[in-house]
Amino acid sequence: MAANLSRNGPALQEAYVRVVTEKSPTDWGPM
């Protein structure tokens, strides 16, 4: 997944921040 950050960085970062901000129960695992 880390490799995709180079291409989809903005989208993934936005989604990740949104999940963290909302304290979603989604388990992202040790990224």
CB atoms < 10 A from the CB of 28, how many?
Answer: 10
- Say how far residue 9 (Cα) sits from the centre of its chain: 9
**Successive 10-residue mean pLDDT values, the chain, 31 residues:** 63 77 66 57
Q: Is the pTM of this model over 0.85?
A: no
**What's the pLDDT score for residue 10?**
79
**What's the pLDDT score for residue 21?**
74
**What's the pLDDT score for residue 2?**
57
Residues composing the chain: 31
**What's the pLDDT score for residue 11?**
76
